[in-house]
Chain A
């Protein structure tokens, strides 16, 4: 069995294990074993991938494997990874691992919760390893539907409304992707569904590309919180249970950016060059609008959700710049945002679990009461506003650096506008930290609260190590990424 097939296979086995478990202890055992195995596998894959590259393996995709599945449509189960997908797999494994510990205290319907959670991760892992359009799309949809029940059953607040809104909007997006995939497949002569082969053929007529590019880009853009299709995101994230928010904002929203890059732009390059200006404008709006919206929110989760809209907008913004530096920055931003937003949601979940409110007007002086969580919150906040030494700085620096390389007025102008988001981010992060962590605690009830337990410390520590690691030693990761981004960008430009 190919090593990559293990990524979706392990969560399937975990689901089986969960189905057979009788009590909470067994459920936890299954989850910890599986999540650790995934994390170990992902780390091993990174080293194997770097090793293969060091040995001079030059093929765009490594560890490839292909089995014919549906002959009449040339559908294969085809897998393979490059630097981008390896990084994404590592991110997903980290989030699944920490998400498991962040939902350690889940007791009500824990078995079902973790089963849907595992199904979600099957979709996520499968998406990143797929090279076949159909298989990729299938895993994409597998990742979407568990959200409905995860939010609808275990969520908080207006969960039914949010769950339905999120599911329908994302499914609407995937309807667009589906027709786009059919357009790409039949447009390229209906001979193959393999992404690399379609790119090599490069024979989709320009007038068809003009139709399919916006459709596919918007389709994936819905998940990447592209303005004006981002409205599911604040409601969805605010209502979702902690681990689901983590996985969804941390990984699932990356599916959107990854799909835009790998399918919309890579397979429809001519239209991408021609029409990118429309989407650059939209993503610039996402970036700035998300940041401003975060400033006026009072719910911790809403603040973070709008901040995600802003940061994910930056991912799409960067890939549309179509140069290697910016695109490398986009992938770094996906990693960085994935880790720090997961950290944020984990901490918010832990604070909410204690105070039972997420309203910043009712929280204050938490630093004295729960120092561990508060310090971690500060670190997450600093990473979010791009402090050097943490992951956010590396990613945003690379993006704006790359974006500014495009030296025409239009690109320069939008880059400057997007850059303002850094300042606005600082405003809402610092306001938030000052308000809820420092000062004196006004609510006597909160004085009795306790600091993090071991499972919470573990989840948070792993994420902080990852955020700091990416910030302090960015080169090994960015080298791996930029070397894989290069062939994609040069294909788009030619």
Chain B
């Protein structure tokens, strides 16, 4: 076997494995003094990793291991998006990891996070259901450890338990679905399946099971029940990772598999998605209005954002895939900015994260308030911030395929979502507070991460080159 082929297509995963090994070794060798530099070292490593893998090396697709692993340029793009998000999460996790109670196990944080990233990369590149499943498990098992990272805290441990139980249930459901699929088609290769899929009852059932499994990961309604508690209980760095990276990877994979494998059953999964989108957006919005804790608030906001992402999936077109990746990228910078601010406030104010605590924040911490405001505006889809463009594009994607009423429902929901995003803005700018959170300086990593996010929020929409670049490589249903 020609090993150079493996290297030339699997470069992201191989490089990432290298980073993980480096992290493990550094943790082992560096000693007490060296470990103080763990954070900058890891951030630099991630930066090098991104620099090396951000541009796709091949203009055409390829497969290795007999089609188990597939490479196409657009997968490369998604993986770089995830890696950039992970870097921002790392930057913002610095001060939390330096705390007395987490300091001794910070190596584990990096290794576990990067393992889940590796799992997601494999999941994205899978060309076979076995490979896909292994990738997904690799992405979700370490995730449970991360959620329960502050294990001495009751709600963190509870969040971990909730996450692992629902993840296992989802995996079981999905495996069950895949087994039906194997039973009716006799293969697990993505490429061979469409020819043997005819929309029989068993296959519809398997599609639904499969969809439910990924629905748990993306936290779509009605599979969202774990989300709020897990987001609230997990450490903020992990929550931000969970809400963005893992959701993005799962949403993209869902689109790829629906488009590639279930293409003959398009009308069935479009109907399924239709219902799920309406439920996700509406239910999440209604619940978000009532939230007082900002992490729970963002949990429901992220459920409704997931519903918007599905608008791109339902179109099934190459244009839809472009808008999905773009939406995910924009959502990532905006959400990470919001979580970055929450984490900074939490670290510097002794764990405050209720909306009332943010009253009058603008008076004491104007920059953080501005960043939070811009991030929320972007999430709500207000121009000239990037979120406006990404929302417009996914609406156009769904509209093009004739889902006019669905787009209308989604648009009405953007107005509702604007209401609750403005509540936070109102708390920071308008409400008065006798004892506002004191002025503080956040650490360099957090600030660097926030600047990156802010640059994304401001520039991604106005600079059209990112969107154009993605659109060169996207694919969709065969017409």
Shortest CB–CB separation between residue B463 and chain A, in angstroms?
Answer: 10
- Taking a contact as CB atoms under 8 Å apart, the answer to whether B322 and A72 are in contact is yes
B418 contact set on A, CB distance < 8 A: 167-168, 171
CB-CB contacts below 8 Å: B312-352 with A: 319, 322
What size tier do the contact residues of chain A reach? 20 to 34
| B35 at the A interface (CB under 8 A) | no
- CB-contact partner of A168 in B319, B377, B393, B415, under 8 A: B415
Given A70-B467, A142-B383, A167-B422, the answer on whether A182 and B407 have CB atoms closer than 8 Å is yes
B436 contact set on A, CB distance < 8 A: none
Q: Mark B116-137, 1 if CB is under 8 A from A, else 0.
A: 0000000000000000000000
- Taking a contact as CB atoms under 8 Å apart, the answer to whether A149 and B425 are in contact is yes
| A179 at the B interface (CB under 8 A) | yes
- CB-contact partner of A190 in B384, B393, B400, B468, under 8 A: B400
A178 contact set on B, CB distance < 8 A: 392, 395, 411
Residue of A148, A175, A185, A186 ringed by the most chain B CB atoms within 10 A: A175
| B396 at the A interface (CB under 8 A) | yes
- CB-contact partner of A164 in B319, B392, B419, under 8 A: B419
- Taking a contact as CB atoms under 8 Å apart, the answer to whether B430 and A152 are in contact is yes
- Taking a contact as CB atoms under 8 Å apart, the answer to whether A160 and B415 are in contact is no
Shortest CB–CB separation between residue A34 and chain B, in angstroms?
Answer: 19
| B412 at the A interface (CB under 8 A) | yes
- Taking a contact as CB atoms under 8 Å apart, the answer to whether B411 and A70 are in contact is no
Q: How far is B422's CA from A178's CA once the two chains are assembled, in angstroms?
A: 21
Given A153-B430, A190-B400, the answer on whether A171 and B415 have CB atoms closer than 8 Å is yes
Q: Mark B386-413, 1 if CB is under 8 A from A, else 0.
A: 0011001101100110001001100110
| A369 at the B interface (CB under 8 A) | no
Given A153-B430, A160-B426, the answer on whether A179 and B404 have CB atoms closer than 8 Å is yes
| A141 at the B interface (CB under 8 A) | yes
| B185 at the A interface (CB under 8 A) | no
| A71 at the B interface (CB under 8 A) | yes
B377 contact set on A, CB distance < 8 A: 145
| A138 at the B interface (CB under 8 A) | yes
B399 contact set on A, CB distance < 8 A: 179, 182-183, 186
B322 contact set on A, CB distance < 8 A: 72
| A449 at the B interface (CB under 8 A) | no
| B246 at the A interface (CB under 8 A) | no
A175 contact set on B, CB distance < 8 A: 411-412, 414-415
| B464 at the A interface (CB under 8 A) | yes
Chain A's closest residue to B467 (CB) is A70
| B382 at the A interface (CB under 8 A) | yes
Shortest CB–CB separation between residue B157 and chain A, in angstroms?
Answer: 39
Shortest CB–CB separation between residue A287 and chain B, in angstroms?
Answer: 28
- Taking a contact as CB atoms under 8 Å apart, the answer to whether A160 and B430 are in contact is yes
Given A152-B429, A164-B422, A168-B419, the answer on whether A142 and B384 have CB atoms closer than 8 Å is yes
Question: How many residues on the B side are at the interface (Cβ–Cβ under 8 A)?
Answer: 32
- Taking a contact as CB atoms under 8 Å apart, the answer to whether B383 and A138 are in contact is yes
Shortest CB–CB separation between residue B50 and chain A, in angstroms?
Answer: 26
Given A141-B382, A142-B383, A168-B418, the answer on whether A73 and B393 have CB atoms closer than 8 Å is yes
CB-CB contacts below 8 Å: A190-205 with B: 190
Shortest CB–CB separation between residue B378 and chain A, in angstroms?
Answer: 11
Given A141-B383, A178-B392, the answer on whether A148 and B411 have CB atoms closer than 8 Å is no
A149 contact set on B, CB distance < 8 A: 425, 429
Q: Mark B294-326, 1 if CB is under 8 A from A, else 0.
A: 000000000000000000000000010010000
Given A145-B382, A168-B415, the answer on whether A179 and B429 have CB atoms closer than 8 Å is no
Given A141-B382, A153-B430, A178-B395, the answer on whether A70 and B415 have CB atoms closer than 8 Å is no
| B365 at the A interface (CB under 8 A) | no
- Taking a contact as CB atoms under 8 Å apart, the answer to whether A186 and B400 are in contact is yes
| B270 at the A interface (CB under 8 A) | no
Q: How far is B430's CA from A423's CA once the two chains are assembled, in angstroms?
A: 42
- Taking a contact as CB atoms under 8 Å apart, the answer to whether A182 and B415 are in contact is no
- CB-contact partner of A172 in B395, B412, B467, under 8 A: B412
Given A141-B383, A179-B404, A179-B407, the answer on whether A71 and B395 have CB atoms closer than 8 Å is no
| B155 at the A interface (CB under 8 A) | no
Q: How far is B384's CA from A140's CA once the two chains are assembled, in angstroms?
A: 10
Q: How far is B377's CA from A134's CA once the two chains are assembled, in angstroms?
A: 19
- CB-contact partner of B319 in A72, A145, A185, under 8 A: A72
- Taking a contact as CB atoms under 8 Å apart, the answer to whether B467 and A153 are in contact is no
Q: How far is B322's CA from A404's CA once the two chains are assembled, in angstroms?
A: 53
| B293 at the A interface (CB under 8 A) | no
- Taking a contact as CB atoms under 8 Å apart, the answer to whether A182 and B425 are in contact is no
| A69 at the B interface (CB under 8 A) | yes
Q: How far is B467's CA from A176's CA once the two chains are assembled, in angstroms?
A: 25
A172 contact set on B, CB distance < 8 A: 412, 415
Q: Mark B412-452, 1 if CB is under 8 A from A, else 0.
A: 10110011001001100110000000000000000000000
| B95 at the A interface (CB under 8 A) | no
B184 contact set on A, CB distance < 8 A: none
Shortest CB–CB separation between residue A140 and chain B, in angstroms?
Answer: 9
B383 contact set on A, CB distance < 8 A: 138-139, 141-142
| B471 at the A interface (CB under 8 A) | yes
CB-CB contacts below 8 Å: B175-211 with A: none
Shortest CB–CB separation between residue B396 and chain A, in angstroms?
Answer: 6
Q: How far is B468's CA from A70's CA once the two chains are assembled, in angstroms?
A: 7
Q: How far is B414's CA from A172's CA once the two chains are assembled, in angstroms?
A: 9
Q: Mark A123-158, 1 if CB is under 8 A from B, else 0.
A: 000000000001000110110010011001100000
Chain A's closest residue to B462 (CB) is A69
- Taking a contact as CB atoms under 8 Å apart, the answer to whether B407 and A138 are in contact is no
- Taking a contact as CB atoms under 8 Å apart, the answer to whether A148 and B464 are in contact is no
Q: How far is B368's CA from A48's CA once the two chains are assembled, in angstroms?
A: 45
CB-CB contacts below 8 Å: A36-87 with B: 69-73
Shortest CB–CB separation between residue A58 and chain B, in angstroms?
Answer: 33
B425 contact set on A, CB distance < 8 A: 148-149
Residue of B322, B392, B412, B471 ringed by the most chain A CB atoms within 10 A: B392
Chain A's closest residue to B377 (CB) is A145
Q: How far is B384's CA from A176's CA once the two chains are assembled, in angstroms?
A: 19
Given A141-B383, A145-B382, the answer on whether A73 and B396 have CB atoms closer than 8 Å is yes
Q: How far is B430's CA from A69's CA once the two chains are assembled, in angstroms?
A: 37
Shortest CB–CB separation between residue B315 and chain A, in angstroms?
Answer: 12
B426 contact set on A, CB distance < 8 A: 152, 160, 164
A70 contact set on B, CB distance < 8 A: 389, 464, 467-468
CB-CB contacts below 8 Å: B46-89 with A: none
A134 contact set on B, CB distance < 8 A: 392
19 other A-B residue contacts (CB within 8 Å) besides A167-B418, A171-B415, A178-B392? A70-B468, A71-B471, A141-B383, A141-B388, A145-B377, A149-B429, A152-B426, A153-B430, A159-B430, A160-B430, A164-B422, A168-B418, A171-B414, A171-B418, A175-B412, A179-B395, A183-B399, A183-B404, A185-B396
5 closest cross-chain pairs (CB), A and B = A175-B411, A182-B399, A138-B383, A152-B430, A141-B383
Q: Mind listing 28 A-B residue pairs with CB under 8 Å?
A: A69-B464, A70-B468, A71-B464, A72-B468, A73-B393, A73-B396, A134-B392, A138-B383, A138-B388, A139-B383, A142-B383, A145-B382, A148-B422, A149-B425, A160-B426, A160-B430, A167-B422, A171-B415, A172-B412, A175-B415, A176-B411, A179-B399, A182-B395, A182-B396, A182-B407, A183-B399, A183-B404, A186-B400
